[in-house]
Amino acid sequence: MSSIKLTSDSTYPFSSAVMHLVELLFVSSLSVATFALDNGLMRVPPMGWLAWERYRCDIDYVFTRPHTRLSEDGWRELGYVYVNIDDCWSSMKRDDNGRLQADPKDSQEASINWHATCMTGVSSWASTGTWAHTCGGYPGTTLDKIELDAQTFADWEVDMFKFDGCYSNATEQEQGYPLMSKALNATGRPIGYSCSWPAYQGGLPPKVNYTQLGEICNLWRNYGDIQDSWDSVLKIINWFFENQDVLVSAAGPGKWNDPDMLIAGDFGLSMEQSRSQMAIWAIMAAPLFMSNDLRTINSGARSILQNKIAISINQDPRGIPGRSILKEKSGIDVYWRPLSKNASALVFFSRRNDMPYRYQTTLSKLNYTTGSYQIYDVFTEKTMTLKDSTSFVVSVNPTGVVMWYVSAPAKRNIRQFYRGGRLQGSLFDDDENRISPVFL
């Protein structure tokens, strides 16, 4: 994978506004002390479009003009700013100076078109590097080519770079991933760095050192590639939450676990399942890279991917990934993510295949402290107030979710008073935690 972002470069004036907006929004998170790769990038999970799942080596996807669609169809304003190409874009031969080059035969027309569009609008472009070969058999980046290729990508004004791991062994990876991080830094261009290293080493300690990854990479693929099916999404969800004790502490501002692309708008998921993927990716603080055809995406998938509350939960500046907190025998899982301002997100997910299931619980059973909470249902847009002890029922569709934004608890109302032997005023000061209209 590799990438382009709607850049802040002055050659592309259209995009500079976005980047400044992004910087403004997330400036507050910069003060959080973490040990992340020190390139100032990706303090919240990166968002954008990525060719691979939908298009693989069919490089003609450039004619779908994903960057234009991102700009013109409201995606960019929501944070989807990276345009990532992947493997198979390059020539089978490096040029006379040993530099990677675009394929002069197959993709010349495509790349001309691509660059022409860049000039009028959005981005630079990026690409994938690997070792002896890329996964698709194109020229790879062996250890001796790391500095040259990093410089080439910087010269091309690439904003994000993924170093895949095909055709390399553990020793080369141990040397190559940190070396590439240094080489990208040495170019002077801030380039988001995505590492496939853990995915090639089973994703878990002791083979994978997440402390080190957090110091050298902005994001990393921990596990296998996503495919266009619910089975594939479910396999990924299961692996990430089975290993949450390792993975949750690995991630934070500037360093993210990457469970792979969003596939809403493709062929394999129902609307319920698309919502489930969006909700659980938001809970995981996962990068949101869609892989779909933005020209023909249906309105249902679009509204799921453009759901502002799901996105703002994903982009929460504290950057703490959520956890699976309950797995009920009934097939309902509950996921919880702590957010800024003492708010949180809850997802009720059904593994059932039979019918909508009415799940009954209380917030105190989910370990919420005493108080009154404002609830915003992310996909139905309904709001309500719930006390910790109030029993409630959520109806969760098969393979679907109910997702809530939960405010901070309101404290007991100090303005309560007795009159005529009766308590007057409401028990909780509900104004205190009213969901901010700015957030909505």
Q: Least CB distance from residue 170 to ligand NAG, whole Å?
A: 6
Q: Least CB distance from residue 96 to ligand NAG, whole Å?
A: 25
What 3-state DSSP class applies to 193?
strand
Angstrom distance (rounded) from CA 433 to CA 440: 14
Nearer to ligand NAG among residue 266 and residue 333 (C-beta) = 333
Beta strand 219-221 with 256-258: parallel, antiparallel or unpaired? parallel
* In contact, 385 and 372? CB cutoff 8 Å: yes
* In contact, 26 and 46? CB cutoff 8 Å: no
Is the four-CA dihedral 215, 216, 222, 227 of positive or negative sign?
positive
What positions carry a catalytic annotation?
Answer: 164, 225
* In contact, 312 and 439? CB cutoff 8 Å: yes
Place of tokens 């990038």: 41
DSSP 58-72: -GGGGGG-HHHHHHH
* In contact, 279 and 310? CB cutoff 8 Å: yes
Nearer to ligand NAG among residue 184 and residue 263 (C-beta) = 184
Tell me how far apart the 2 most distant CA atoms of the chain are, in Å: 93
Angstrom distance (rounded) from CA 395 to CA 226: 28
Q: Which two tokens stand for residue 92?
A: 């089978």
Residues in touch with ligand NAG (CB under 6 A) = 38-39, 169, 171-172, 185, 188-190, 209, 211-212, 215, 325-326, 341-342, 366-367, 408
Nearer to ligand NAG among residue 11 and residue 169 (C-beta) = 169
Angstrom distance (rounded) from CA 230 to CA 33: 38
Q: Least CB distance from residue 39 to ligand NAG, whole Å?
A: 3
Type of residue at 142:
T
Q: Least CB distance from residue 52 to ligand NAG, whole Å?
A: 25
Angstrom distance (rounded) from CA 100 to CA 85: 15
Q: Least CB distance from residue 291 to ligand NAG, whole Å?
A: 27
Nearer to ligand NAG among residue 11 and residue 367 (C-beta) = 367
Q: Least CB distance from residue 185 to ligand NAG, whole Å?
A: 4
Nearer to ligand NAG among residue 278 and residue 334 (C-beta) = 334
Angstrom distance (rounded) from CA 277 to CA 236: 10
Q: Least CB distance from residue 161 to ligand NAG, whole Å?
A: 12
Angstrom distance (rounded) from CA 285 to CA 258: 9
* In contact, 19 and 124? CB cutoff 8 Å: no
DSSP 343-367: -EEEEEEE--SSS-EEEEE-TGGGT
Nearer to ligand NAG among residue 160 and residue 264 (C-beta) = 160
List C-alpha distances in Å: 18 to 27, 69, 79, 168, 418: 14, 15, 8, 37, 54
Q: Least CB distance from residue 298 to ligand NAG, whole Å?
A: 36
